[in-house]
Structure 1
Amino acid sequence: MNMNSFFTDLQGKINQAIDSSPAKDLEKNVKAMMTQGFSKLDLVTREEFDIQAQVLAKTRAKLEALELRMGELESRLAEQATGK
């Protein structure tokens, strides 16, 4: 018997033992409880968070561009007011 098939066999037997043991039921129950608890919280997915981060970055870039433009317009207005 080669080592690779030995470990595959061992892994299969361990998985069978875990699947038929109370540990598997406990894992399912804990997952269900955690899912229920998280559903009550006001959480967002990582995907939603990343999308909002991108939107925020674009908004910041637009705001910076508008601030620069506003500064230029204010400068022109000040020049025109002193030049008249």
Structure 2
Amino acid sequence: MIDQLAKQLFTDAQQRMQELGNSDALPASQLKALLESGLRKLNLVTREEFDAQQAVLLRTREKIDKLEVQLQALLDCKND
């Protein structure tokens, strides 16, 4: 994922430098390494990992809601 994103960013950056005619730009290998290094520091996750965690959180929220209802029912019974 990071490699794919780095390649896309590299391609975009290289294209923009060519459009600007910037001959003082970093060599391609240095630019690519710089982009990859920066992306690795972002702690990115895949969409699949994100969706899986979101599903886990949703199930957990549902369980908590049920437990709160059960607890309230027990407290109501105790107070009667």
Partner of 2:65: 64
Partner of 1:78: 79
The one-letter code sitting in structure 2 at the alignment partner of 1:46 is: R
Partner of 1:50: 51
The one-letter code sitting in structure 2 at the alignment partner of 1:70 is: L
Alpha-carbon distance in 2 for matches of 1:40, 1:72: 48
Number of residue pairs the alignment of both structures matches: 55
Partner of 2:35: 34
> What RMSD, in angstroms, separates the aligned Cα atoms of the two structures?
2.4
SS at match of 1:44: coil
Structure 1 or 2: more helix by fraction: 1
Percent same amino acid among aligned pairs? 40
The one-letter code sitting in structure 2 at the alignment partner of 1:52 is: Q
SS at match of 2:73: helix
How big is the shift at 1:35? Answer: 2.9
Alpha-carbon distance in 1 for matches of 2:63, 2:79: 24
Give the unaligned 5+ runs of structure 1. 1-22, 80-84
Alpha-carbon distance in 2 for matches of 1:57, 1:32: 38
Partner of 1:5: none
TM-score of the two chains, using structure 2 as the length reference: 0.55
